[in-house]
Each structure stands twice: as C-alpha cells, then as structure tokens.
Amino acid sequence: MVAACGGAPPTPGVGAQSRAVVSPPGDASTVILVSIDTLRPDRLGCYGNRQPTSPNIDRFAGESVLFTEAIAQAPSTLPSHATMFTSLLPAHHGAFFSRRTPLPASIPTLATELQAAGYRTAAFTGGGQIAPEFGLDRGFGTYGVNVGGSDFSSAVRAGLGWLGEDPGHPAFLFLHTYEVHHPFTPKPELLAVFDDGYDGELPAEISKDLLTQVNTDETVITDRDLAHIVAAYDAEIRSVDDAFGIFLIGLGELGLLEGSIVIFTSDHGEEFGEHGVVGWHSHTLYDELLRVPLMIRFPGGRQGGLTIDRQVRLLDLAPTVLAAVGVAAPPAFEGVDLARVIGGLATPLPALSQLDLPLGEVELSLRTKRWKLYPRRAFAGDPFAESPPPVALRVRNLIKRWRRPFALFDLQTDPGEHRDVVDGHPQVAGSLSRTMNLMAGARPHPAPEPTVIVDVATEERLRALGYVD
C-alpha cells in the first residue's frame, strides 16, 4: 500500500554504497536544478499572476512540463531541500534546522549518485540553512556560498562560469538563492513597476524588523500597505527572473540548453496574511507555504507546454532526474519518476509534510488532490507569540486536540483551508490518517546526528534571514 502511494518499504542499509566512479556517455544530459527559496507559484505569470513578474520564467514554462500542484514536504529550507536531494520524507532523512541536525553522511543524494556516475558536480547557493555544515554539500565537487554576492545573478554568473570550464562533460549544477526571501529589498526601478504611486508610511525596503512589528501589531497596516509588501516581493521575483533569463541565454551560448534537463522550483512558499501572518513561513502547513512552482524542461523541449494537474511532490525530483539520465535510483528513494505521472499514472501521490520542530515534537499534514488532513496543534502557528496562553485555555486546547487531533479541509470547496469538515467526513479523515501513519512509519527514523555548530559567516546569514533571533 505504501509503495502504491509513492513511498517505499523499510530498506536495510539505507546508506550509499561505495563504488567506482565511471565516465558517463558523452551525450549524457547535463542536469540543472534551480531552487528559488520562498517562491510562491501564484506570483508567477505562468501560474496565473497578471503582474509582469516573470516573463523569462513564463517563456521557459512554455518549453517545459509545468506541474500545477507540486507540494513541498516541509515549509522550511533545510528539510525541504534535503527531501529534494534524498527523495526521503523529513523524518526519514533527519535534517532539521530547529534541531541543528545535518543530513546523515550515510544517506545517498542526487549529487552523490550523479557524481558516482561520472558527472561533474557544483552548487552555488545562498548558504544559511543549506550551508555546507548541514550536509547538503556531499557529492558536490564545488559548493559555493554567496559567490560574488547574495542575489541570484551572482549564482548565475558563477554557474555559467563553472559550466563553461568543460561544457563537453556531463554536469550537475544546483543554483539556489534567497533573493525572494525576506527582507524584501527590491531595486527601486522594479518596485516602481509593481507599486507606482504608493504613498503609505511603509518604506520601500521591507526589513525583517518591520515584518516582526507588523506581525506583533506594533505596526498596524492597511490592505494598501499589505499590497505594498507584496509588491516588494514581486519586484524581487522580477529581479530573479531577469537573472534567469540571462542564465538561459548563457546555456544556449554554451551549447547546453537543448541537451540539458533544467528544473525550476522552490523549497516552500510565503504567507501574506492568509492565516494571520505576513511575510513569514515555517510556522504552518497550509498551502500558501507548501505549494511550490515546478517546471521541468526535458532535452530538446520535449513535451514542452504540457500542463500536469495531478498532485506531485518535491520527494519525486531526485528519482525523476536519475531515471531521465539512465542512472539507477538507490532503493532508499521514496518518490516516483514523474515521467510516469506525465505518462498518465493513475495512482494518487499523497503528500506528507512536516513542520521543522525541535526533537520530540512532530506535526504532520497529509494532502491529496481534494483533501487535507491538518494537525490542530498547527492551527495557530504563531511564531510571534510572546507568552503562552493561560493555563486553563491550554488545558482545554490539549483535551480538544487529544479527542480530535486533526482537522479536515475540502480543497475543492475551500482552497483557503478555513472550514473544518471532519465531522461530515469521518471516513475520509480515518483513511487519510491511516495513510499518514503508513507513510511516516515506512522506515526507521535515523538517529540524530551531532548538533551543527555554524561558523560566523553562516550565523550572520541566518540572522539576516530571520532564522536566528
């Protein structure tokens, strides 16, 4: 049953096996994975936004297979990216920022598998939660952090430079940026495109401190002020889009675009007031934080322009890439090759997602195309609460959650996830709960790795991103 849901049975010896490095065929596809941290799909033109945020991404989408319902397995950077690379649920790979636990060295990743297959490998990232200390650097011959600057254009320049060193050898390149992540510091000329005429009291740059003041009601904002914050976010997307356009041109000049597999996605979304918080993430499992863009351009633009409405997961990226380049996926991988979904796979792929919480705390949601089983403990999800509620209220909430630990949302009629319908659909909730338990318990959880101690530069980066107080 778990295998039918896209998971895998318990696998002994999850660790990567040692093997001789081989040389891939000369015509093997280069693989490029682009992750724009904190990017919501609904702010892109190809997902329906009428604002001109993404002309280059939209053109790329026209040459790609676009997935309308791609779901992240965590609303935070480290566990979500670890899932991308390992095709394991967060509980099964054990990389959590709140616990400061890195990805265990025994777990195979997309990078280790491609490197073992003879690929050149490099990553140019924004660091922070995916700094080398957290273990995602394994398998990369080069792992750069903020090379040349913190914006996406810097990663693009570094990536193109690295590809150009040996364009004839198959390569795996991972590009990542926090440019869309708060603080929102848009270029003035781009902000003017999305918010010309704003005369409110908020500044052009939306700092982490300002968002904290907004979310603690120290600064009260109007709907127009909220639109200004979203405009600053949109302007940051447009800056990323400009750099992405340069990257695609560069790939073409290197003769790599047509023969490459290029994946464009994000690790999680961002909340803009849908459930009470503005410009923040990691705190709930609602769709505004779990839905991500996903586009895959296959070599030659094969199947370009195809839109897939079936639900898929970031869990499925690594097996999709390995299957596309003819490399066997490790038995540990829990996801499926999305080529099967593109080809009409009828089996649903339930998406199990998990909050990044300290050791001993586990909150899971399970999403299907129609239903969302949601933990009541994550209803509030307020990272700005200064003190716990009164004892009597906490006791009442504890009893209520013990009796009814999950809410149920019908995404067909309530895509905003505001109306709990568990009383009207107890059998649905029971079935989803059983599936959740099967997926979560499909394999042993790894023993926690030693706590990561980050260097000064990573600490400063984490502080700037709001991950460290």
The residues with which 206 forms a beta bridge, in sequence order, are 184
Average pLDDT over residues 178-197: 95
Average pLDDT over residues 404-410: 92
Query: What pLDDT score does 23 carry?
Result: 58
Query: What pLDDT score does 404 carry?
Result: 75
Look at 212-216, 259-263, 442-446 and tell me which has the smallest mean pLDDT. 442-446
Residue 438: burial class (beta carbons within 10 Å; 0-12, 13-18, 19+): middle
Query: What pLDDT score does 9 carry?
Result: 36
Ramachandran angles phi, psi of 35, nearest 5°: -120, 115
pLDDT at 4 over 60: no
Average pLDDT over residues 141-161: 93
Q: What percent of the chain has pLDDT over 70?
A: 89
The residues with which 101 forms a beta bridge, in sequence order, are 96
Name the band, by pLDDT with cuts 50, 70 and 90, for residue 465: confident
Query: What pLDDT score does 5 carry?
Result: 46
pLDDT at 353 over 90: yes
Query: What pLDDT score does 422 carry?
Result: 96
The residues with which 173 forms a beta bridge, in sequence order, are 32, 122
Name the band, by pLDDT with cuts 50, 70 and 90, for residue 226: very high
Query: What pLDDT score does 381 carry?
Result: 57
Ramachandran angles phi, psi of 130, nearest 5°: -115, 30
Ramachandran angles phi, psi of 394, nearest 5°: -65, -40
Query: What pLDDT score does 260 carry?
Result: 96
Amino acid at 79: P
Query: What pLDDT score does 13 carry?
Result: 36
Full-model pTM? 0.91
Name the band, by pLDDT with cuts 50, 70 and 90, for residue 14: very low
Name the band, by pLDDT with cuts 50, 70 and 90, for residue 321: very high
Topology of domain 31-464, CATH: Alkaline Phosphatase, subunit A (3.40.720)
Query: What pLDDT score does 141 carry?
Result: 97
Pair 342, 306: CB distance under 8 Å: yes
Question: Regarding predicted confidence, which is higher, 49 or 457?
Answer: 49
Q: In angstroms, what CA-CA distances link 375 with 4, 6, 116, 270? A: 24, 22, 40, 19
Average pLDDT over residues 186-198: 94
Q: What is the mean pLDDT of the chain?
A: 90
Closest CA to 433 of 375, 379, 380: 375
Query: What pLDDT score does 414 carry?
Result: 98
pLDDT tens, 98-149?
999 999 999 999 999 999 999 999 999 999 999 999 999 999 999 999 887 7
Average pLDDT over residues 323-335: 95
pLDDT at 352 over 70: yes
Residue 125: burial class (beta carbons within 10 Å; 0-12, 13-18, 19+): buried
Query: What pLDDT score does 397 carry?
Result: 57
pLDDT at 355 over 70: yes
Query: What pLDDT score does 380 carry?
Result: 58
Name the band, by pLDDT with cuts 50, 70 and 90, for residue 387: low
Domain ranges of the chain: 31-464
Ramachandran angles phi, psi of 67, nearest 5°: -105, 120
Question: Regarding predicted confidence, which is higher, 26 or 106?
Answer: 106
pLDDT at 416 over 70: yes
Query: What pLDDT score does 391 carry?
Result: 60
Query: What pLDDT score does 197 carry?
Result: 86
Query: What pLDDT score does 18 carry?
Result: 44
Average pLDDT over residues 214-230: 95
Look at 36-50, 127-141, 159-173, 370-384 and tell me which has the smallest mean pLDDT. 370-384
pLDDT at 2 over 80: no
Query: What pLDDT score does 291 carry?
Result: 98
Question: Regarding predicted confidence, which is higher, 237 or 17?
Answer: 237
Give the Cα separation of 337 and 323 in Å (integer): 7
Count how many residues are written for the chain.
469
pLDDT at 16 over 60: no
Which two structure tokens, joined as six digits, stand for 410?
């019908």
